[in-house]
């Protein structure tokens, strides 16, 4: 069969598909009963562990205390019995190397006994530590090749769970991953350290402000996940989607998102069947998925969980992506997490909702009811504003990678300029603190006196939300919207936590100083908040972040605008960044530099894969289709000439023009392919400097690749449809 016809076959296959039914039955077993069924959570531990052991474990979890070996033994044993009783045969340490994905290596519970018998065992030391070969994971230069060993270490703060696959279950134990030298090789270790930094600095502040209640502060995160869902019959016919996760070719569809008819539209049956199936597995894994809806672009959707503590939220987001990918295949669909699978329509992001919470469940970014609570809120708010202003480039660098370059800066996602949206009312409160006055017509009635006055009610309805801001205050949390849909949220949160810790430290120190100098506490707080807000207010912007004017205004304000990955990443290895991460014990210099190296290398590798794919698809799929059509037109013309005699008058000129146009466009494609081939070979040699190499890809290779695409997309518009082999956007995005 000719591949072009395979496209039509695919459409036929899809039309015959039915929604795939799962075995889920919420009548037999309610959502409440199924939720967390595959998790070794607190309630399971309470029933299975001896009372003392349970109490000690909770003490460790809630107060960050160390776990002793005998307790680990008891927990491991209970965990094993629980897992085996539910059908598990294997266990694995489950960790998050710097690839941005998760890693697992399974071991069965089988252990030889003393007299030739076989036992099912899971000793405490296997729970606490594993020793995987680290040599094939990216280390960014940390690990010398002769020392390939790495260690995984149990993270008891994220519960163990069972992965339920078609033919059995595996016990997964969330772990950290480090090198023999002790350097963190993963995304989770720094995240946990950054939460510790926030805990330390925020408790110091709270105590100073007279809060004696809170014992432990954690960061909370709710990650809204956008994704595309397409039929696998189309997917399999697109080598670019299969290998690069995005379409490297494809003309803009005649109908995009302009009708605004997809957002929150009714969900198609096949899609809903998939969503419910995936959600069921997530419920059983204890992932609190909450909302689902159609997103703005055709074939685009969103799922959002209820927020959790940041490291659990991170694990759960990784699990969510994994379960969505796997379940989609069961439904003959493919789930695309790439930031920009289809040029010309909206891409996907991951809104990272973030706040801080004490051990009593109080949200520290929730405006209070009393002057005292409002004081605490405003000081913390000030710390966050300062953090984002002072460390804007660092925050920007956490979302810098090839996929996200297609989004940030385009008019659909927040720009690369970091700014904060506070909303009108809170914005006016901030103004009144800075100026000591209240402008006419303001919603704020009097000057905010910290510790004395209360905040006006802050509107929290959707109309007050600014969808264009990269960092928006949404009532009782911040929403960092520049995060890419495919990336792990660990790194953005690690940096966010670290810069907030630094800022809390700064503010607390300033207030302490003022008090020591004899100022009453409230006055000291007022003065420090006022001064800090005044110094950092340039980062506050409530208007349209997509607008031309904002870009100019931001420049006037001196806000950084790192438009691309290569511009953005170097900030990670500046002396200021090195000092920041080591001061707060989140990453030492080697660990930080390794992350920079990994990010730059990932950029180079991503573009390189795309280039090789572009060349192969253009050479073997697009050029042949264009030539085939050219040949057909030429033949038709010559036959027509023959049949009608040499002179077919004016229409002859029209046919000639058609053929000429086709030849020109095909030639343009071929020339651009050859040019890409040349620069990509040049790029292979690389340079000693990693960043220079990445820039070569950005400045030389990418434009050459885009030129091939432009020529190919142009041809898509004129070549005989039956000869075009790649499924078109108008099909992929609409046919289910």
Task: Kindly list the residues in this chain that would bind ligand ADP in the complex (CB under 6 A).
Answer: 220-222, 224, 291, 304-307, 351, 353-355, 363, 476-477, 479
What's the closest the beta carbon of residue 61 comes to ligand ADP, in angstroms?
A: 20
Residue 291 binds which entry of Mg ion, ligand ADP, none, with Cβ cut-offs from 5 to 8 Å by kind?
ligand ADP
The count of chain residues that interact with Mg ion, using the rule CB under 5 A, is: 2
Question: Is the separation of the CB atoms in 74 and 53 below 8 Å?
Answer: yes
Which is closer to Mg ion, CB of 270 or CB of 481?
A: 481
196's tokens: 């510790």
Considering CB distances under 5 to 8 angstroms, the limit depending on partner class, which of Mg ion, ligand ADP, none binds residue 597? none
Q: Are 442 and 428 in contact (CB under 8 A)?
A: yes
Which window, 14-22, 179-187, 349-357, 517-525, contacts Mg ion (CB under 5 A)?
349-357
Nearer to ligand ADP, 266 or 463 (CB): 463
- Alpha helix stretches (DSSP H) within 16-160: 31-34, 42-48, 51-63, 69-85, 124-128
- The whole-angstrom separation of Cα 503 and Cα 517 is 21
Residue 304 binds what, of Mg ion, ligand ADP, none (CB under 5 to 8 Å, by partner type)?
A: ligand ADP
CB atoms within 10 A of CB 265: 12
476 contact choice in Mg ion, ligand ADP, none (CB below 5 to 8 Å, kind-dependent): ligand ADP
445-448, long-range: CB within 8 Å, 24+ apart, which pairs? 448/374, 448/378
Q: Which of 7, 316, 351, 693 binds Mg ion (CB under 5 A)?
A: 351
Distances (CA, A) of 601 to 140, 282, 354, 416, 688: 8, 33, 29, 21, 13
Which of Mg ion, ligand ADP, none does residue 139 bind to, with CB < 5 to 8 Å depending on kind? none
* Shortest separation between residue 479's beta carbon and Mg ion, angstroms: 5
Q: Is 350 in the site for Mg ion (CB under 5 A)?
A: no
Q: In angstroms, what is the minimal distance from the CB of 472 to ligand ADP?
A: 9
96/110 Cα distance (integer angstroms): 26
Q: Rounded to the nearest whole angstrom, what is the least distance from the CB of residue 462 to ligand ADP in the complex?
A: 6
Query: 496 or 618, CB closer to ligand ADP?
Result: 496
Pick between residue 466 and residue 666 the one whose CB is nearest to ligand ADP. 466
**Among Mg ion, ligand ADP, none, what does residue 354 contact (CB within 5–8 Å per kind)?**
ligand ADP
3-state secondary structure of 214: coil
User: Nearest to residue 241, comparing CAs of 355, 111, 333?
Assistant: 333
With CB cut-offs between 5 and 8 Å by kind, which of ligand ADP, Mg ion, none does residue 109 bind?
none
Decide which of ligand ADP, Mg ion, none touches 534; Cβ closer than 5 to 8 Å per partner kind.
none
Determine contact, residues 542/422, Cβ cutoff 8 Å: yes
Q: What's the CA angle centered on 125, arms 119 and 127, to 5 degrees?
A: 85
Residue 227, strand partner residues? 301
Q: Which does 594 bind (CB under 5 to 8 A by kind): ligand ADP, Mg ion, none?
A: none
In sequence order, what are the residues at sequence separation of 6 or more whose Cβ sits closer than 8 angstroms to the Cβ of residue 414? Answer: 408, 468, 469, 470, 471, 481, 482, 545
> Of ligand ADP, Mg ion, none, which one does residue 355 interact with (CB within 5 to 8 Å by kind)?
ligand ADP
- As measured in angstroms, the least distance from the Cβ of 319 to ligand ADP is 15
CB-CB neighbours of 179 under 10 Å: 23
In order of 115, 243, 561, 592, the CA distances from 623 in angstroms are: 69, 20, 39, 45
Task: Give which of ligand ADP, Mg ion, none residue 374 binds (C-beta under 5 to 8 Å, depending on kind).
Answer: none
Q: CB nearer to ligand ADP: give 13 or 309.
A: 309
Q: How far is the CB of 465 from Mg ion (least distance, A)?
A: 8
CA distance 84 to 97: 28
- Strand blocks (E) in 61-167: 88-95, 103-108, 110-112, 118-120, 129-130, 150-154, 161-165
Tell me whether residue 231 or residue 373 sits nearer to ligand ADP (CB atom): 373
Residue 309: CB minimum distance to ligand ADP, A: 10
Max CA distance (Å), the chain:
106
User: Which lies closer to Mg ion via its Cβ, residue 249 or residue 421?
Assistant: 421
Query: Least Å distance between CB 356 and ligand ADP?
Result: 8
Q: Which is nearer to ligand ADP, 21 or 462 (CB)?
A: 462
Closest separation between CB of residue 244 and Mg ion, Å? 27
- Identify what 222 binds: Mg ion, ligand ADP, none; CB under 5 to 8 Å per kind: ligand ADP
Nearer to Mg ion, 413 or 704 (CB): 413
Residue 175 or residue 474: which is nearer to ligand ADP going by CB? 474
The entry of ligand ADP, Mg ion, none near residue 137 (CB within 5 to 8 angstroms by kind) is none
What burial class does residue 479 get, using C-beta atoms within 10 Å of its C-beta: 0-12 exposed, 13-18 middle, 19+ buried? buried
**Restricting to residues 174-233, which ones interact with Mg ion according to CB under 5 A?**
224
Q: Which is nearer to Mg ion, 262 or 393 (CB)?
A: 262
Residue nearest to Mg ion (CB): 351
Backbone angles phi, psi at 128, to 5 degrees: -70, -40
Residue (278 or 559) nearer to ligand ADP, CB = 278
Q: How far is the CB of 222 from Mg ion (least distance, A)?
A: 9
Burial of 369 (0-12, 13-18, 19+ CB in 10 A): exposed
How many CB atoms within 10 Å of residue 357?
20
CB 291, min distance to Mg ion, A: 10
Rounded to a whole number of angstroms, the minimum distance from the CB of residue 306 to ligand ADP is: 4
- Residue closer to ligand ADP, measured from CB, 356 or 673: 356
Find the shortest distance in angstroms from Cβ 497 to ligand ADP.
Answer: 13
Binding mask 361-400 for Mg ion (x = CB under 5 A): ----------------------------------------
Q: Which is nearer to ligand ADP, 294 or 594 (CB)?
A: 294
Q: Are 371 and 452 in contact (CB under 8 A)?
A: yes
Q: How many residues does the chain have?
A: 736
For the bound state, the minimum distance from the C-beta of residue 413 to Mg ion, rounded and expressed in Å, comes to 12
d(CA 243, CA 646): 50
DSSP 187: S
Contacting residues for 663 by C-beta, under 8 A, at least 6 apart = 630
Closer CB to Mg ion, 216 or 467, in the complex: 467
Least CB distance from residue 430 to ligand ADP, whole Å? 20
Q: How far apart are CA 87 and CA 171, in angstroms?
A: 10
Tokens for 704, please give them: 């050459």
> What ranges make up the beta strands (E) of 656-696?
none
Residue nearest to ligand ADP (CB): 222
Compute φ and ψ for 394, nearest 5 degrees: -65, -45
Q: Which does 181 bind (CB under 5 to 8 A by kind): ligand ADP, Mg ion, none?
A: none
305 binds, among Mg ion, ligand ADP, none (CB under 5 to 8 A by kind): ligand ADP
Which residues in this chain contact Mg ion in the complex, by CB under 5 A?
A: 224, 351
């Amino acid at each position: 069969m000719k591949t072009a016809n395979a496209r039509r076959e695919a459409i036929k296959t899809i039309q015959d598909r039915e929604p795939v039914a799962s075995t889920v039955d919420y009548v037999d077993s309610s959502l409440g009963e199924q939720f967390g069924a595959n998790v070794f959570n607190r309630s399971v531990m309470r029933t299975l562990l001896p009372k003392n052991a349970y109490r000690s474990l909770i003490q460790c979890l809630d107060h960050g205390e160390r776990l002793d070996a005998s307790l680990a033994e008891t927990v491991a044993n209970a965990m094993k019995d629980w897992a085996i009783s539910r059908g598990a045969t294997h266990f694995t340490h489950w960790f998050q190397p710097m690839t941005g994905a998760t890693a697992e290596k399974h071991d069965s519970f089988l252990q030889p006994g003393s007299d030739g018998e076989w036992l099912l065992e899971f000793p405490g030391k296997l729970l606490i530590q594993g020793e995987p070969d680290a040599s094939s994971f990216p280390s960014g230069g940390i690990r010398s090749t002769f020392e390939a060993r790495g260690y995984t270490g149990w993270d008891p703060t994220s519960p163990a769970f069972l992965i339920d696959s078609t033919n059995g279950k595996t016990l997964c134990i969330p772990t950290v991953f480090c090198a023999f030298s002790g350097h963190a090789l993963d995304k989770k270790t720094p995240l946990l350290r950054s939460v510790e930094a926030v805990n330390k600095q925020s408790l110091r502040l709270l105590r100073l402000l007279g809060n004696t209640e809170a014992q432990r502060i954690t960061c909370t995160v709710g990650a809204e996940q956008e994704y595309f869902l397409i039929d696998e019959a189309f997917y399999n016919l697109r080598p670019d989607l299969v290998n690069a996760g995005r379409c490297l070719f494809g003309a803009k569809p005649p109908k995009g998102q302009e009708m605004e008819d997809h957002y929150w539209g009714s969900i198609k049956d096949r899609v809903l069947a998939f969503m419910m199936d995936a959600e069921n597995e997530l419920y059983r894994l204890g992932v609190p998925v909450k909302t689902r809806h159609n997103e703005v672009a055709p074939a685009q959707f969103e799922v959002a969980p209820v927020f959790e503590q940041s490291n659990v939220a991170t694990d759960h987001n990784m699990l969510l992506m994994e379960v969505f990918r796997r379940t989609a295949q069961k439904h003959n669909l493919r789930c695309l997490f790439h930031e920009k699978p289809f040029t010309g329509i909206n891409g996907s992001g991951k809104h990272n909702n973030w706040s801080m919470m004490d051990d009593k469940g109080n949200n520290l970014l929730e405006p209070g009811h009393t002057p005292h609570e409002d004081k605490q809120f405003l000081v913390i708010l000030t710390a966050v504003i300062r953090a984002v202003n002072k460390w804007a480039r660092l925050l920007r660098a956490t979302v810098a990678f090839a996929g996200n370059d297609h989004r940030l800066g385009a008019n659909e996602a927040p720009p690369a300029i970091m700014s904060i949206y506070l909303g009108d009312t809170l914005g006016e409160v901030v103004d009144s603190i800075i100026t000591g006055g209240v402008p006419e017509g303001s919603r704020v009635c009097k000057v905010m006196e910290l510790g004395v006055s209360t905040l006006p009610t802050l509107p929290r309805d959707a109309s007050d939300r600014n969808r264009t801001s990269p960092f928006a205050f949404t009532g009782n949390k911040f929403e960092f919207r520049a995060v890419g849909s495919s990336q792990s949220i660990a790194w953005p949160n690690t940096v966010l936590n670290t810069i907030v810790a630094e800022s809390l430290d700064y503010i607390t120190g300033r207030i302490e100083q003022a008090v020591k100098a004899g100022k009453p506490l409230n006055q000291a707080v007022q003065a420090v908040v006022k001064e800090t807000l005044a110094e950092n207010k340039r980062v506050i912007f409530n208007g349209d972040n997509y607008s031309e004017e904002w870009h100019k205004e931001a420049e006037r304000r001196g806000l950084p605008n790192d438009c691309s990955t290569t511009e953005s990443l170097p900030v990670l290895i500046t002396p200021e960044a090195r000092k920041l991460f080591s001061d707060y014990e989140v990453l030492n210099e080697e660990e930080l530099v390794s992350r920079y190296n990994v990010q730059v290398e990932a950029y180079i590798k991503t573009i390189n894969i795309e280039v090789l794919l572009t060349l192969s698809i253009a050479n073997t799929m697009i050029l042949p289709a264009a030539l085939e059509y050219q040949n057909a037109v030429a033949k038709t013309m010559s036959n027509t000439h023959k049949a009608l005699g040499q002179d077919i008058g004016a229409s002859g000129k029209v046919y000639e023009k058609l053929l000429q146009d086709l030849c020109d466009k095909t030639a343009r494609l071929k020339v651009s392919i050859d040019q890409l081939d040349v620069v990509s070979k040049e790029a292979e040699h690389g340079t000693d400097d990693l960043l220079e190499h990445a820039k070569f890809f950005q400045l030389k290779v990418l434009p050459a690749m885009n030129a091939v695409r432009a020529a190919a997309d142009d041809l898509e518009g004129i070549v005989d449809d039956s000869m075009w082999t790649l499924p078109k956007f108008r099909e992929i995005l609409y046919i289910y």
